[in-house]
Amino acid sequence: MHAKSAKMTIIAIETSTSVCSAALSVDGNTVASRVNCEDGNHARLLPVFIHDLLEELCERSLTLDAVALSEGPGSYTGLRIGTSLAKGLCYGLSVPLIPVKTTEVLCASLAEKVNLQEGDYLLPMIDARRMEVYTALYQLKNDTFIPRSDVTACVIDSENAVPFGDGKNYFFGDGAAKCKDLLSERAGFIGDIYPDASAMGALALRYLQKNNIRHTTADIAYYEPFYLKEFVAAHSHVKGLL
């Protein structure tokens, strides 16, 4: 067992979209982060990111207290990569796993770049292909993102498919751009927002304190990401393959 450090240290992992990121936070404040925006590099780069952050942890003479994972929904492959590495860290260092919904990570990432007001409604949108998105409605209250709807898969064929709040609404994320023409009359579109591990430290710390999470290997062994929808393999376009 590791002796606990005086400060609460968390490594956060985010791999739910085309962007891959990891971050180290101390008492909810990010002190080091790594990010790559080129799709398809998660499996290659995430172990390098984690290695760098563990070295940073040692240089600061700190001990890891938990691993936070952006649990989905999102890319099936990306979520599997992030989950595998997160579970390995938890097993190897005997620390708890803190799953955080990716929609909430998106909200926190937005709040780091945009001056939101108390009571604003947030509609994080994750691309689910075609005209479908994963989304949920949150409201900003006392610097906390309060869920006002469940996370769901919405087909954006009418404004009624989206759970708007009675006030100022914002929609954002990699699934938002394709809804811009349909939704802009009801909500403000904010571009270039992606779920970032550097925004997860305070979320994970709050969740850890609120739920009094303890490390159990059984919980980690049976944990699965929040896929929301079942994975369906596409037919190969390579000649000769079924």
Whose structure tokens read 């159990």? Answer: 216
Q: Read off the pTM.
A: 0.90
Amino acid at 136: A
- Which of 164, 168, 185 is closest to 120 using CA atoms? 168
pLDDT at position 237 over 70? no
Is 65 buried (19+), middle (13-18) or exposed (0-12) by CB count in 10 A?
A: buried
- Which of 75, 97, 83, 72 is closest to 46 using CA atoms? 83
CB 95 within 8 A of CB 64: yes
- Please provide the DSSP assignment of 67-113 as one string: EEEE--SS-HHHHHHHHHHHHHHHHHHT--EEEE-HHHHHHHHHHTT
CA 146 to chain centre: 16
Q: For the chain, list the domains and their CATH numbers.
A: 9-102+196-222 (3.30.420.40), 114-190 (3.30.420.40)
- Which of 212, 217, 222, 197 is closest to 24 using CA atoms? 197
What is the C-alpha to C-alpha distance for residues 185 and 164, in angstroms, rounded to an integer? 12
Average pLDDT over the chain, rounded to whole?
A: 90
pLDDT in tens, 129-168: 888 999 999 999 999 999 999 999 998 876 667 899 999 9
pLDDT at position 226 over 60? yes
What is the C-alpha to C-alpha distance for residues 214 and 41, in angstroms, rounded to an integer? 32
| Residues in the chain, total | 242
Amino acid at 137: L
What's the confidence (pLDDT) of residue 6?
64
* Average pLDDT of span 69-92: 96
- The CA dihedral of 141, 145, 150, 156, to the nearest 10 degrees, is 100
pLDDT at position 240 over 50? no
The confidence band for 77, taking pLDDT boundaries of 50, 70 and 90, is: very high
